Amino acid sequence: MQIAALIVAAGRGTRAGGALPKQWQDLRGQTVLARSVAAFAEHTQITAVVLHPDDHDLWDAAGIAADLVVDGGATRDASVRAGLEALAGRGVDLVLIHDAARPLVSASVIRDVIAALEDHQGAAPALAVTDALWTGVAGTVTGTQSRDGLFRAQTPQGFHFDAILAAHQSATGPFADDVAAARAAGLDVAIVPGAEENLKITGPDDLARAGQLMGHGMDIRLGNGYDVHRFGPGDHVWLCGVQVPHDRSLQGHSDADVGMHAVTDAIYGALGMGDIGQHFPPSDPQWKGAASHIFLEHAVALATERGFSISNVDCTLICEFPKIGPHQSAMKAAIAQIMGLEADRISVKATTSERLGFTGRGEGIASIATATLVKS
């Protein structure tokens, strides 16, 4: 028994948001299309993918394994027909036609479709409608409708290969789906149980929901940072982006903003991406005297690129002098502005060390910080 998967990925739908059609968007590290193709790998012997003719570069870059890649046509019917015709002559007994936009199709749905094809010319998953159905006009309910016998159709829609090829070649659409084409040709189609998680990605909410259904839920990262700079001659210190008058200055290769360095390292730490010294080596003269917002902005950009938002930052400055209290809200505002966050997500606080140790003796300032990063 030769079973083929025919993955239809020729649509241009960009309702899911972003510049790319939905099948090329990222779903937890792989494209939607790659996940749809992979779902069939264990169940079929041949995989054919119908692509939009403009998408070959995307295909080449994606590294997805398929036996056949076929250019689609102007309509879904034409694309399916092109795929079926490319599979003709390869000894295919059964074909499972699947929308690339349903990446979470389960093994049990695929197996049920294949099993039902023992007794039927076609079989497809569907869910009975359970919500009440209304008619409505201009935002007002005008009537109710019985939901008895109504189903929400899904894919893969499976068929005996020769029968569905003949159906697509002889019928004139447009058809809502391949079951409609099959029925127009007189084929019987069994309904097998569909699954809520076999959703079709249409809008941005669907992409987010698909990500959640994959069972990872939220990706929450916590990072910490610690930094120390020693006092030297001078008349001010930079702390959390604020210039504070003092009878000494902090020494360091950059502006020695010990608080901002700890916050920056907390973000790098949450990402598992090293520390400031690694990204901005002190041996590199271009960072001499650098304003520390460059470092913090870099760490925030790395987090954003990886899909994380920064949920909160908590920074503690440890020193006897200067007094931090009068500058606390300015520091919160400065960090918030650099990070592009609301000020209530930033905490800056201070403690002395009871005159103990190097901070107690006024030899320098230490800072510790924590950052929480979230990807949903």
Residue placing its CB nearer to Mg ion in the complex, 23 or 367: 367
Q: With CB under 5 A, what is the number of residues at the site for Mg ion?
A: 2
Minimum CB separation from Mg ion for residue 352, in Å? 20
Q: Judging by DSSP bridges, how do beta strands 94-99 and 3-9 pair with one another? A: parallel
Answer yes or no whether residue 293 interacts with Mg ion by CB under 5 A. no
Inter-helix orientation angle 328-339/293-305, to 10°: 50
Residue placing its CB nearer to Mg ion in the complex, 21 or 259: 259
Cα-Cα-Cα-Cα dihedral sign, residues 268, 269, 272, 278: positive
Q: Which residues contact 33 (CB under 8 A, 6 or more apart)?
A: 7, 9, 23, 24, 49, 62, 64, 100, 103
Strand partners, 5: 47, 96
Minimum CB separation from Mg ion for residue 374, in Å? 26
> Which residue reads 């990446």 in tokens?
103
DSSP assignment of 130-199 equals -S-EEEEETTEEEEEE--TT-EEE-S-EEEEHHHHHHHHHH-----SSHHHHHHHTT--EEEEE--TTS-
Minimum CB separation from Mg ion for residue 275, in Å? 9
Minimum CB separation from Mg ion for residue 264, in Å? 9
**Closest-CA residue to 21 (of 55, 49, 53):** 55
> How far apart (Å, rounded) are the C-alpha atoms in residues 233 and 84?
79
Judged by CB under 5 A, the stretch of 3-11, 185-193, 202-210, 222-230 that binds Mg ion is: 222-230
Strand partners, 237: 244
Minimum CB separation from Mg ion for residue 227, in Å? 4
Residue placing its CB nearer to Mg ion in the complex, 55 or 227: 227
Residue placing its CB nearer to Mg ion in the complex, 125 or 364: 364
Residue placing its CB nearer to Mg ion in the complex, 99 or 227: 227
Residue placing its CB nearer to Mg ion in the complex, 35 or 261: 261
Minimum CB separation from Mg ion for residue 282, in Å? 9
Give the residue at shortest CB distance from Mg ion: 261
Minimum CB separation from Mg ion for residue 43, in Å? 56
Q: What is the dihedral of CA 277, 282, 288, 289, to 10 degrees?
A: 40
Do residues 332 and 347 lie in contact, with contact meaning Cβ atoms separated by under 8 Å? yes
Residue placing its CB nearer to Mg ion in the complex, 192 or 262: 262
Judged by CB under 5 A, the stretch of 38-46, 70-78, 224-232, 320-328 that binds Mg ion is: 224-232
Minimum CB separation from Mg ion for residue 287, in Å? 11
Answer yes or no whether residue 227 interacts with Mg ion by CB under 5 A. yes
Answer yes or no whether residue 261 interacts with Mg ion by CB under 5 A. yes
Cα-Cα-Cα-Cα dihedral sign, residues 138, 139, 140, 142: positive
Answer yes or no whether residue 81 interacts with Mg ion by CB under 5 A. no
Residue placing its CB nearer to Mg ion in the complex, 178 or 227: 227
Residue placing its CB nearer to Mg ion in the complex, 178 or 257: 257
Site string for Mg ion, 171-210 (x = CB under 5 A): ----------------------------------------
Q: How far apart are the first and last CA of the chain?
A: 42
DSSP assignment of 333-375 equals HHHHHHHT--GGGEEEEEE--TT-HHHHTTSEEEEEEEEEEEE
> How far apart (Å, rounded) are the C-alpha atoms in residues 337 and 340?
5
Judged by CB under 5 A, the stretch of 74-82, 219-227, 296-304, 364-372 that binds Mg ion is: 219-227
Judged by CB under 5 A, the stretch of 28-36, 72-80, 203-211, 257-265 that binds Mg ion is: 257-265
Judged by CB under 5 A, the stretch of 84-92, 215-223, 226-234, 282-290 that binds Mg ion is: 226-234
Q: Which residues bind Mg ion (CB under 5 A)?
A: 227, 261
